[in-house]
A and B are shown apart, each in its own frame.
Chain A
Amino acid sequence: MKEQNSHTNAKRYGMVIDLDKCTGCGACMVACYSENNVPFKTDETNKLDSINWIRVYKLTNNKPYPDTEICYLPMPCMQCDGIGKHGHSPCVSVCPAVATDYDYDTGIVSQIYTRCFGCRYCMAACPYHARKFNWWDPKWPADTEKYLSPNVSPRMRGVVEKCSFCFHRYQLAREKAYLEKRQKLEEQEYQTACTQACPVGAITFGDLNNKDHAVYKLKNDPRAFRLLERLQTNPKVYYLTSKNWVRRAGDNYLAHEEPGNITKVKEHH
């Protein structure tokens, strides 16, 4: 939790997900399982004990046939900046053992599996349910452990895990740049597995602080919003939608409130 002063040079990696494009195919989820050595059980239908670093929710506008509309909403870890964007995300400040930390160089919230002792306070703190607990010993039956990636350590029973924005990819890209004596990473050098996997290109990833990155512009798109903005979690995952009902579903509003007017005020908090 040591805050660094170099906010100006720091990157803030973030994501913009175009909900008008997402078809709900689930490729992001599977690519993520494969990239991050996510285990699988024989029964994964209880989504409350199924480990998904990114989960695609299906929302409906609750209107009767035939005026029904649906929208798929992929939800990775929001990598919150927290109140006042100081890096005090809901989860980081509560972890008693510093097993989860906010990296001031990238804005990424890490999770150290061998440090976590499984108190689950961070899960209670996260309103996005982005954090998953290893209720079981992860098992890779019938030689499936042979396809595990060496870049991400498999977790053990009793610890919390979550989306890391594929931080290992950042590290690998940095290593490569270092060997090539480069300081800067190109936008395409560091992309998350889900971004890369999205077959319709609904996910864009990059440095929200960098004018040259696509996300920099997209986050200011009039269609852009963030989930539960009113809680001041300051997520670094933005969504694009042209539908008001989707935007409304992304936060909580009193009956008389309209999405657009509320969040602007909160920005300055």
Chain B
Amino acid sequence: MKIDRRSFLSYTTAVVLGGAAGSMLTPAPWKLMDDISIWTQNWPWTPVPQDGAITYKHSVCTLCPGGCGIDVRLAGGRPIKIEGDKDHPVNKGSLCPRGFSALQYLYGPARVTTPLKREGKRGEGKWQKITWDEALTAVSGKLAELRSNGRPDTVACISGSDQGTIPNLIGRFMTAYGSPNFLCTATAKDAMEQAIYLTQGRQGSPVFDIENADFILSFGAGILEGWGGTGRMLNLYGAGKSAKTLVQIEPRLSDTAARANQWISITPGTETALALGLAHVMVKESLYDRQFIENFAFGFNDWTDDNGTAHKGFATAINDYPPAKVARITGIKEAEIPKLARKFAKAAAPIAVSGRGQGLLPGSIDESLAVLLLNAIAGNINKKGGVSVLSDFDYAKWPEIKIDETASKGMQQPRIDGAGSDDFPNTRYLLNRLPETLVAASGDAPIQALLVTGANPLYTMPDTAAAKKAFDRIPFIASFSPFMDETASYADYILPDHTPLERLQEVPAAVGISRQVISLAKPVVKPVYETHHVGDTFIQIARNLGGFVKSAFPWKDYETFLKATLKDHWRTLNKKGWVEISHDLPEPLNYVFNTASGKFEFYPTARVSGQKTIPPLPAFTPVPIEGDPQRFDLVLMPFDSIRLAGGDVANAPFMTKTVDANVLLHQTSVVEINPATARKLGLKDGDSVKLTTPRGEATVQLYFYDGIMPGLIAMPRGLGHTAYSDYLANKGTNVNQLIGAIADPDSGLNTAWGIRATITRI
């Protein structure tokens, strides 16, 4: 056999092919392929979480005023999971979706990682990173300049809260500096506090002993959706310890209404009439607490004052609210009203609560008062399972502030928002009045510098666009937000605070709970970015300003200040995480009323002080609503969802992820409408429509929901952000933008529960 070039090639090829084919029958190439394949799939962008020993740290969630205890799970010191703290007296392990998402507030694209100085136009989003020294110098410099001009009162501070050491430290700073303009976001609590003050003459937080009640009559309160502290309320509901019976009164089948024993739909804005109507039945049928009325009530029956003038009492006044009339006003079946009144009155421990949804908006004083009086005639004041007042935690007295002449002059100036003035003597803060005052002022703006901390007014204020315009008049805005929120993104300087899991602070009292529980939010991780505790920042600014302002802050830093404040409690708090200060509730009834009469005033005499002519007895006047009914045939009502944060702290990406497509669809808010209403307008489920109110317009999509009163459109709060990050911005519509504020004639607080609206097909 001759081997030429060709056959040599053929043989070689055959050998190579044969060898290759042969080796394919061995595991080697396959194993190799397996390894290569696995290796190629180790994509660098698929993270491999670092392992480490699992430990737990206890802390308390400060993402809302609920004050829930949390357990933070750490792996090698890295926080990896939030869980509810089963031992914490407030929430006993229950936690809301926001609490579970807390790690997404610690990390994420919404955070401000260093101090920033605005470049370009306001809100344009162009920033220059600056050092803390530069940032503090800039703010201190501006404040020093205004002070040296003798106008410290032109500095305002907007805070998310006025409870606890941080807001108090900032309040102290404002006083030492010389400005009365410490403003705070108002909530339903403010209206309840006023109702309590008017009837009982006491200052303090209203508390509802849901723990011991057996019948809850809720006037639209989102009992299971964030009202009264989410963790606490959900825990009570789950443990079956809360009321055996829940009656929910609101025009929309909310999640609370869905779980209630009875849902009573009511024409929105007429809740006061129903409360008075129920009182009417209870009085007529003698279903009230005689003992309480006889011994501790003033103005229940007709009375004559010292001048001999006869006054109608509450029992007479409610003659105006017979069931037939109330049924007409509220749209509730007439027979239902006495039935409900009897059920309420005959329950062993009934309680009536108000505050729409999560109680983010104050609402009308008459309504809060009417609901409180309903509790009173049931003899439910300062009783187990009733309504009482929790005095603010008695903080250790700090050294008295010495103020200089400039500060003293400044403090004598009237507040920018008119709170506490003759018009609104009982109101502490009226943030919603700030924009109009700013716009109305001629010449230089009455506010020259604005400090914003723990609040996001450019998102939460009614008629947000108008608020933004008003803020344009303020030459200097500094934000202390840890997040690039709407207000921070509109500021000139951002001096970022720590986020809740990095920030030391105490939580003085959980909202609504009838015991004084102080918890300590301990940092679970060292600050991740170049942020400063807002308390330290203010102490530093005070030091920079020097003089009396500086000497008002003798503490090295916030931690020293907090320890000094908490004194004996510090050790317990540091060790245990919370301390329950015994509070003897219910207090003996004769001790608790600081009214002129020394009694519980059904006829609140405090309401007649000043020049105002508010009829003292609660009466039903429809809570006004903006818009011409001829032009706007429907009513837009915001609602709160537990999966959406509607207040100062916005959603974490995880929360938005839970939101259903019938709430948000891509970039568009989905609004609920009764199918009957929509069909009348010739609209279909899923139609895109233009929603117009007197304050603005938005493109929304319709969702046919049978559980909403015809004629209404419901839109969730908490969407429509323009700042933060891609995970939140430009998703849906901010309902606040479509609704203006309506001032309560008594308190000046915002009562707008909705606005007239119309929809047109696009």
Partners in one complex: yes
Would you list which residues of chain A between 184 and 204 have a CB under 8 Å from chain B? Answer: 193, 196-202
- Can you identify 28 A-B contacts, CB atoms within 8 angstroms? A23-B224, A25-B96, A25-B97, A25-B230, A25-B642, A27-B95, A27-B97, A30-B100, A31-B83, A37-B49, A43-B666, A44-B656, A64-B676, A66-B253, A66-B265, A66-B709, A70-B255, A72-B258, A137-B43, A139-B45, A142-B107, A149-B49, A149-B80, A150-B76, A156-B43, A198-B238, A199-B96, A199-B231
Contacts of A222 in B (CB 8 A): none
Instruction: Write the B525-556 contact mask toward A (1 if CB under 8 angstroms, else 0).
Output: 00010000000000000000000000000000
Contacts of A196 in B (CB 8 A): 83
Contacts of A114 in B (CB 8 A): 38, 41
- CB–CB B96/A60 < 8 A: no
Would you list which residues of chain A between 75 and 103 have a CB under 8 Å from chain B? Answer: none
Contacts of B183 in A (CB 8 A): none
Interface presence of B425 (CB below 8 A): no
Interface centre among A25, A47, A52, A68 (most CB of B within 10 A): A25
Known: A60-B706, A60-B707, A198-B238. A143 touches B528 (CB 8 A): yes
Contacts of A31 in B (CB 8 A): 83, 100
- CB–CB B81/A34 < 8 A: yes
Interface presence of A264 (CB below 8 A): no
Which secondary structure dominates chain A's binding surface? Answer: loop
- CB–CB A56/B707 < 8 A: no
Interface presence of A154 (CB below 8 A): yes
Contacts of A26 in B (CB 8 A): 97, 642-643, 655, 658
Tell me how far the C-beta of B580 lies from the nearest C-beta in chain A, rounded to whole angstroms.
21
Interface presence of B84 (CB below 8 A): yes
Instruction: Write the B87-113 contact mask toward A (1 if CB under 8 angstroms, else 0).
Output: 000010111110111011011110100
- CB–CB B726/A65 < 8 A: no
- Find A149's partner among B81, B94, B258, B665 (CB 8 Å cutoff): B81
- Find A65's partner among B78, B100, B710 (CB 8 Å cutoff): B710
- CB–CB A201/B239 < 8 A: yes
- Find B94's partner among A144, A145, A146, A199 (CB 8 Å cutoff): A199
Known: A27-B95, A37-B49. A147 touches B100 (CB 8 A): no
Known: A33-B654, A33-B657, A45-B661. A23 touches B97 (CB 8 A): no
- CB–CB B265/A201 < 8 A: no
- CB–CB B52/A197 < 8 A: no
Closest 9 CB pairs of A and B: A200-B238, A199-B94, A199-B234, A148-B49, A68-B707, A26-B658, A142-B109, A30-B100, A68-B706
Known: A27-B100, A45-B665. A56 touches B658 (CB 8 A): yes
Interface presence of A46 (CB below 8 A): yes
Complex alpha-carbon distance, A139 and B710, angstroms? 43
Instruction: Write the A198-231 contact mask toward B (1 if CB under 8 angstroms, else 0).
Output: 1111100000000000000000000000000000
- Find A142's partner among B38, B111, B253 (CB 8 Å cutoff): B111
Would you list which residues of chain B between 626 and 658 have a CB under 8 Å from chain A? Answer: 642-643, 653-658
Interface presence of A35 (CB below 8 A): yes
- CB–CB B95/A199 < 8 A: yes
- CB–CB B108/A145 < 8 A: no
Tell me how far the C-beta of B747 lies from the nearest C-beta in chain A, rounded to whole angstroms.
32
- CB–CB A24/B659 < 8 A: no
- CB–CB A30/B660 < 8 A: no
Query: For residue B729, which residue of chain A has the nearest CB?
Result: A42
Query: For residue B46, which residue of chain A has the nearest CB?
Result: A156
Known: A27-B96, A40-B654, A142-B111. A199 touches B75 (CB 8 A): no
Interface presence of B727 (CB below 8 A): yes
Interface presence of A266 (CB below 8 A): no
Interface presence of B51 (CB below 8 A): yes
Complex alpha-carbon distance, A35 and B54, angstroms? 13
Interface presence of B288 (CB below 8 A): no
- CB–CB A145/B258 < 8 A: no
- CB–CB A70/B111 < 8 A: no
- CB–CB B643/A25 < 8 A: yes
Contacts of A200 in B (CB 8 A): 94, 234-235, 237-238
- CB–CB B727/A40 < 8 A: yes
Contacts of B263 in A (CB 8 A): 66
Complex alpha-carbon distance, A70 and B676, angstroms? 18
Complex alpha-carbon distance, A58 and B731, angstroms? 21
Chain A: interface residue total (CB-CB under 8 A): 63
- CB–CB B660/A58 < 8 A: yes
**B residues touching A (Cβ–Cβ < 8 Å)?**
38, 41, 43, 45-52, 75-76, 78-84, 91, 93-97, 99-101, 103-104, 106-109, 111, 224-225, 230-231, 234-235, 237-239, 253, 255-256, 258-259, 263, 265, 528, 642-643, 653-662, 664-666, 674-676, 705-710, 725-727, 731
Complex alpha-carbon distance, A147 and B524, angstroms? 13
- CB–CB A142/B654 < 8 A: no
Contacts of B43 in A (CB 8 A): 137, 156
Tell me how far the C-beta of B722 lies from the nearest C-beta in chain A, rounded to whole angstroms.
15
- CB–CB A34/B103 < 8 A: yes
Query: For residue B657, which residue of chain A has the nearest CB?
Result: A44
Contacts of A149 in B (CB 8 A): 49, 75, 80-81
- CB–CB A47/B661 < 8 A: yes
- CB–CB A23/B80 < 8 A: no
Complex alpha-carbon distance, A56 and B231, angstroms? 19
Would you list which residues of chain A between 16 and 38 have a CB under 8 Å from chain B? Answer: 21, 23-27, 29-31, 33-35, 37
- Find B258's partner among A69, A147, A198 (CB 8 Å cutoff): A69
Contacts of B80 in A (CB 8 A): 34, 147-150
Complex alpha-carbon distance, A163 and B259, angstroms? 27
- CB–CB B47/A30 < 8 A: no
Complex alpha-carbon distance, A138 and B47, angstroms? 9
Other than A21-B237, A70-B253, A149-B75, give 18 A-B pairs with Cβ distance below 8 A: A25-B255, A27-B97, A27-B99, A30-B101, A30-B654, A34-B654, A46-B666, A65-B707, A68-B706, A140-B47, A141-B108, A143-B107, A143-B108, A146-B528, A154-B47, A156-B41, A199-B91, A199-B235
- Find B674's partner among A29, A60, A65 (CB 8 Å cutoff): A65
Query: For residue A33, which residue of chain B has the nearest CB?
Result: B654
Tell me how far the C-beta of A171 lies from the nearest C-beta in chain B, rounded to whole angstroms.
13
Contacts of A34 in B (CB 8 A): 80-82, 100-101, 103, 654
Contacts of B665 in A (CB 8 A): 45
Interface presence of A63 (CB below 8 A): yes
Tell me how far the C-beta of B80 lies from the nearest C-beta in chain A, rounded to whole angstroms.
5
Contacts of A240 in B (CB 8 A): none
Contacts of A37 in B (CB 8 A): 49
Complex alpha-carbon distance, A51 and B291, angstroms? 59
Query: For residue A67, which residue of chain B has the nearest CB?
Result: B706
Contacts of B255 in A (CB 8 A): 23-25, 70, 72
Interface presence of A73 (CB below 8 A): no
Query: For residue B656, which residue of chain A has the nearest CB?
Result: A44
Tell me how far the C-beta of A8 lies from the nearest C-beta in chain B, rounded to whole angstroms.
34
Interface presence of A263 (CB below 8 A): no
Tell me how far the C-beta of A50 lies from the nearest C-beta in chain B, rounded to whole angstroms.
7
- CB–CB B83/A197 < 8 A: yes
Contacts of B47 in A (CB 8 A): 140, 145, 148, 154
- Find A29's partner among B83, B658, B662, B709 (CB 8 Å cutoff): B658
Interface presence of A160 (CB below 8 A): no
Known: A34-B101, A68-B707, A143-B108. A40 touches B653 (CB 8 A): yes
Complex alpha-carbon distance, A148 and B78, angstroms? 9
Contacts of B726 in A (CB 8 A): 42
Interface presence of A183 (CB below 8 A): no
